[in-house]
């Protein structure tokens, strides 16, 4: 409602809220007692809201005015009524709370007066009965309001009549029943009535009971004198008491049962059930037909009555506060449970809502209002009720009417689009209801075709003449407003020199070009990707470098190209109006990779035939293979003689010759192409050449070989670590020495 600027420049917004009850009045029973001097009651009522709510009260639907001097006074929302008067003040009260948002009305609270007058009659004629007969002594309570309890004095106070199977006092009527009179019953009986609210107690005139001397009454069947109504409505959760008592000779026994055969629930104390059946905390399942059975040796009699369940309404769906633009429509739903089924009515600002106009409809708890106007603003209440009570819920309806306003949402002052591109110019004024939007370019009104439903303007396939000053004009019944912005059409960016697929050799350096033409007024940004990964210049071991010196060139250089630099290179160019990219593949040629799967196929005393598989050719075909061998005696790897002498790039087998018999050999293969010789393959498994079959000539060298080998093994075992180190440094560079 108000906005206050504090010195710290903190904006404090006092939230404005509609009234909501925090306390509602409850019903009051006022005991009328002549001794009480200060006869007054207070109905409480309290509501929250901002601005703070004010209050009014109604009695029986009519406003009451607490003027000075009247016996009403208001303090906050509470209503105090002094000098209470039974005739003037009894009735139904409701509190109304209101602020600038509207009025809400509280639930109904009744004021009743509890009182009891004295018995009018002073004398009662005597009742004479035969011994064995049943008798009813009437109490006939005086005029009163408030619940009563009854007891009877037998002869003199404080001798009260005790209830048993033979004697019963109805708490409904106050009457005393004696099923079968005995001589000891003769005496004076006085009904004592207590008002449970006022706590006053009055005594009736005594009724003398006398015995007739004309004989004794014989036996007869039970005659039910006290019975409960055919239908009793019992509120959920309340306690119900049913009375049943019969006269008869012999004294009848009283029993209870349910007609549907269901046994009594445990909460019903059946032992207590003589003349009264009490069901505490009544629930739906306790509803049904109950029967009282009075029985003696002469016969039996029954009465039946139905207990029906009822529940006051309970809201399960309530209307919620809403804010709607003018001319819009509103639907509010209200749902309540209850038995019988609740009916609904609606109130607006404390008054019953009559659907005088066709646009306001009320049906089955649903309120709908079409074409909202400012006069619909207010507090609405749904009241769900059945004959056992009413519940109220409230909700606020705000209807907003605002002339078009661009102050929060001006058009973008500059919008750019590339030639041939699409652009959306957004127009988002505040207005309620949403009226019409039109667009102008310069002074010319634009066709509606390009205006979208939400008021935005779409320009497709922009051309240079589309550039200019655009104005969005918003209009509703409360006014017109406009906002303008410039559209600039820019030349698109075009890549003139794209990178193309390149074929290079390891170790070379190349430039990948990326040159563009673009709108000179726009800034360019180049980014490069290698296999979709952003290239961070300066990283990657310094291989990549930006060399595009001029403004519209994004060229890069790759120095000392390695095999791993082969792949896809993408140049991406971005301006404020567009972004394009182009990719090229880089092929890197190098010496072949190592052959694989070296296998000794066959071995004799001086030859071994080998096979292998080709390794990668790195984009240049293998021209030749060379084979190397190693024995425990040789100084590292040494070239060997093969057949054929030159192993061509196409062949994958060769035979090594001139080997020594009975020696362990390992072989490896190296591939060469036009660029060079690649890494050697992994060594083959060790294979031993056969002994020579020509005894005498070749045997000696092989014995010598065996001897030398012994020395070598001895050396290896003594210097294992040194050898391992030496071997890992490279077989060729540091041969073993001994």
Chain residues that interact with ligand NAG, rule: CB under 6 A = 59-60, 88, 90-91, 155, 187-188, 206, 208, 420, 461, 463
Residue written as token pair 């791993």? 564
- Within 13 Å and on the Cβ side, how many CA atoms surround 605? 9
**Identity of the residue, 405 or 466, whose beta carbon is nearer to ligand NAG in the bound complex:** 466
**Identity of the residue, 46 or 390, whose beta carbon is nearer to ligand NAG in the bound complex:** 390
CB of 312 to ligand NAG, least distance (A): 19
CB of 90 to ligand NAG, least distance (A): 5
**Identity of the residue, 461 or 477, whose beta carbon is nearer to ligand NAG in the bound complex:** 461
**Identity of the residue, 60 or 323, whose beta carbon is nearer to ligand NAG in the bound complex:** 60
CB of 186 to ligand NAG, least distance (A): 7
CB of 131 to ligand NAG, least distance (A): 16
Asked if 590 contacts 433 with a C-beta cutoff of 8 angstroms, the reply is: no
∠ CA 617-622-628 to the nearest 5 degrees? 105
Asked if 142 contacts 118 with a C-beta cutoff of 8 angstroms, the reply is: yes
Q: Which residues of 225-258 are buried (b: 16+ CB within 10 A; e: fewer)?
A: bbbbeeebbbebeeebebbbbbbbbebbebbbbb
Closest residue to ligand NAG, based on beta-carbon distance: 91
CB of 87 to ligand NAG, least distance (A): 7
**Identity of the residue, 188 or 672, whose beta carbon is nearer to ligand NAG in the bound complex:** 188
**Identity of the residue, 112 or 255, whose beta carbon is nearer to ligand NAG in the bound complex:** 112
* Count of other CB atoms within 10 angstroms of residue 436: 14
How far does Cα 363 stand from its chain's mean position? Answer: 31
Asked if 468 contacts 442 with a C-beta cutoff of 8 angstroms, the reply is: yes
Q: For strand 54-59 and strand 78-81, is the pairing parallel, antiparallel, or unpaired?
A: unpaired
Element (H, E) at 535: none
* Count of other CB atoms within 10 angstroms of residue 679: 13
Asked if 379 contacts 346 with a C-beta cutoff of 8 angstroms, the reply is: no
* Count of other CB atoms within 10 angstroms of residue 385: 18
CB of 84 to ligand NAG, least distance (A): 12
CB of 91 to ligand NAG, least distance (A): 3
CB of 86 to ligand NAG, least distance (A): 9
> Pseudo-torsion of CA 719, 720, 723, 725, nearest 10°?
-120
* Count of other CB atoms within 10 angstroms of residue 12: 10
Nearest to 30 by CA among 19, 21, 20, 38: 38
DSSP 677: B
Q: Is 103 helix (H, G, I), strand (E, B) or coil?
A: strand
Contacts by residues 446-449 (CB-CB < 8 Å, ≥ 24 positions apart): none
**Identity of the residue, 84 or 382, whose beta carbon is nearer to ligand NAG in the bound complex:** 84
CB of 112 to ligand NAG, least distance (A): 9
**Identity of the residue, 62 or 364, whose beta carbon is nearer to ligand NAG in the bound complex:** 62
**Identity of the residue, 420 or 701, whose beta carbon is nearer to ligand NAG in the bound complex:** 420
Cα–Cα distance list, 424 to 301, 392, 417, 429, 647 (Å): 91, 50, 9, 16, 70
- Within 13 Å and on the Cβ side, how many CA atoms surround 450? 19
* Token pair of 80 as six digits: 């105090």
**Identity of the residue, 161 or 395, whose beta carbon is nearer to ligand NAG in the bound complex:** 161
**Identity of the residue, 59 or 640, whose beta carbon is nearer to ligand NAG in the bound complex:** 59
Cα–Cα distance list, 378 to 10, 100, 321, 460 (Å): 31, 9, 10, 47
* Token pair of 721 as six digits: 């670590």
Q: Which residues pair with 393 in a beta bridge?
A: 382
CB of 59 to ligand NAG, least distance (A): 6
Cis peptide before 644 (omega within 30 of 0): yes
Q: Which residues pair with 633 in a beta bridge?
A: none
**Identity of the residue, 416 or 472, whose beta carbon is nearer to ligand NAG in the bound complex:** 416
**Identity of the residue, 135 or 659, whose beta carbon is nearer to ligand NAG in the bound complex:** 135
CA distance 631 to 635: 8
CB of 521 to ligand NAG, least distance (A): 22
Nearest to 72 by CA among 60, 89, 54: 89
Asked if 560 contacts 590 with a C-beta cutoff of 8 angstroms, the reply is: no
**Identity of the residue, 100 or 155, whose beta carbon is nearer to ligand NAG in the bound complex:** 155
**Identity of the residue, 90 or 481, whose beta carbon is nearer to ligand NAG in the bound complex:** 90
CB of 520 to ligand NAG, least distance (A): 22
CB of 188 to ligand NAG, least distance (A): 4
Cα–Cα distance list, 549 to 264, 475, 539, 553 (Å): 101, 54, 20, 7
**Identity of the residue, 88 or 409, whose beta carbon is nearer to ligand NAG in the bound complex:** 88
CB of 385 to ligand NAG, least distance (A): 16
**Identity of the residue, 27 or 461, whose beta carbon is nearer to ligand NAG in the bound complex:** 461
CB of 208 to ligand NAG, least distance (A): 5
CB of 61 to ligand NAG, least distance (A): 9
Q: Which residues pair with 73 in a beta bridge?
A: 80
CB of 187 to ligand NAG, least distance (A): 4
Residue written as token pair 């409602």? 1
CA distance 498 to 585: 12
CA distance 695 to 705: 15
């Amino acid at each position: 409602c108000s906005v206050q600027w504090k010195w710290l420049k903190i904006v404090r917004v006092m939230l404005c809220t509609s009234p909501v009850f925090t306390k509602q009045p409850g019903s009051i029973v006022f005991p009328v007692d002549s001794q009480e001097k200060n006869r007054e009651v207070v109905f409480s009522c309290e509501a929250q809201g901002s601005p703070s709510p004010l209050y009014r009260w109604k009695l029986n639907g009519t406003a009451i005015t607490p003027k000075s001097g009247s016996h009403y006074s208001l303090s906050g929302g509470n209503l105090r009524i002094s000098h209470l008067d039974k005739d003037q003040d009894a009735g139904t009260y409701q509190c109304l709370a209101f602020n600038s948002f509207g009025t809400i009305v509280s639930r109904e609270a009744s004021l009743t007066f509890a009182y009891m007058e004295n018995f009018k009659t002073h004398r009662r004629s005597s009742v004479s009965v035969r011994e064995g007969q049943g008798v009813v002594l009437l109490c006939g309570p005086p005029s009163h309001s408030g619940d009563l309890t009854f007891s009877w004095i037998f002869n003199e106070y404080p001798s009260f009549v005790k209830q048993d199977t033979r004697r019963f006092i109805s708490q409904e009527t106050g009457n005393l029943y004696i099923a079968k009179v005995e001589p000891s019953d003769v005496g004076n009986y006085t009904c004592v009535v207590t008002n449970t609210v006022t706590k006053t107690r009055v005594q009736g005139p005594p009724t003398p009971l006398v015995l007739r001397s004309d004989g004794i009454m014989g036996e007869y069947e039970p005659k039910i004198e006290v019975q409960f109504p055919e239908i009793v409505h019992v509120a959920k959760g309340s306690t119900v008491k049913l009375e049943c008592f019969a006269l008869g000779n012999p004294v009848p026994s009283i029993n209870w049962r349910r007609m549907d055969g269901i046994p009594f629930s445990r909460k019903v104390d059946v032992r207590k059930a003589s003349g009264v059946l009490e069901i505490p905390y009544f629930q739906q399942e306790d509803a049904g037909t109950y029967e009282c059975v009075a029985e003696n040796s002469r016969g039996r009699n029954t009465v039946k009555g139905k207990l029906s369940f009822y529940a006051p309404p309970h809201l399960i769906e309530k209307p919620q506060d809403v804010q709607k633009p003018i001319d819009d429509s509103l639907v509010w739903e209200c749902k309540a449970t209850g038995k019988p089924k609740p009916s609904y009515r609606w109130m607006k600002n404390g008054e019953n809502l009559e659907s005088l106009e066709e646009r306001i409809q009320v049906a089955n708890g649903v309120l709908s209002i079409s074409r909202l106007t400012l006069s619909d603003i207010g507090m609405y209440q749904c009241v769900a009720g059945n004959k056992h009570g009413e519940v109220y819920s409230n909700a606020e309806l705000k209807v907003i009417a605002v002339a078009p306003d661009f102050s929060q949402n001006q058009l973008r002052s500059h919008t750019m689009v590339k030639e041939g591109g699409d652009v959306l110019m957004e127009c988002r004024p505040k207005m309620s209801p949403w009226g019409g939007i039109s667009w102008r370019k310069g002074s010319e009104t634009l066709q509606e075709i390009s205006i979208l439903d939400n008021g935005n303007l779409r320009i497709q396939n922009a051309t240079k003449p589309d550039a200019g000053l655009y104005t969005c004009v918003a209009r509703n019944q409360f006014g017109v407003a406009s906002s303008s912005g410039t559209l600039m059409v820019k030349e698109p960016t075009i890549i003139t020199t794209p990178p193309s697929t390149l074929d290079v050799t390891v170790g070379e350096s190349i430039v990948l070009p990326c040159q563009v033409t673009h709108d000179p007024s726009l800034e360019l940004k180049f980014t490069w990707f290698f296999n979709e990964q952003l290239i961070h210049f300066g990283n990657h071991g310094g291989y990549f470098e930006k060399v595009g010196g001029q403004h519209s060139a994004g060229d890069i250089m790759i120095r000392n190209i390695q095999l791993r630099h082969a792949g896809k290179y993408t140049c991406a160019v971005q301006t404020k109006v567009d972004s394009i990219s182009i990719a090229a593949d880089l092929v890197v040629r190098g010496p072949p990779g190592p052959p694989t799967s070296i296998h000794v196929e066959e071995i004799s005393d001086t030859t071994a035939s080998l096979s292998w598989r080709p390794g990668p050719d790195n984009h240049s075909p293998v021209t030749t293979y060379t084979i190397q061998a190693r024995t425990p005696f040789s100084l590292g790897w040494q070239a060997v003689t093969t057949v054929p002498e030159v192993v061509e790039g196409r062949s994958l087998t060769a035979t090594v010759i001139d080997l020594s018999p009975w020696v362990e050999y390992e072989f490896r293969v190296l591939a060469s192409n036009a660029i060079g010789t690649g890494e050697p393959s992994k060594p083959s498994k060790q294979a031993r050449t056969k002994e020579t079959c020509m005894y005498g000539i070749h045997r000696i060298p092989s014995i010598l070989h065996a001897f030398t080998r012994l020395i070598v093994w001895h050396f290896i075992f003594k210097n294992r670590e040194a050898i391992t180190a030496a071997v890992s440094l490279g077989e060729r560079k540091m041969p073993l020495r001994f």
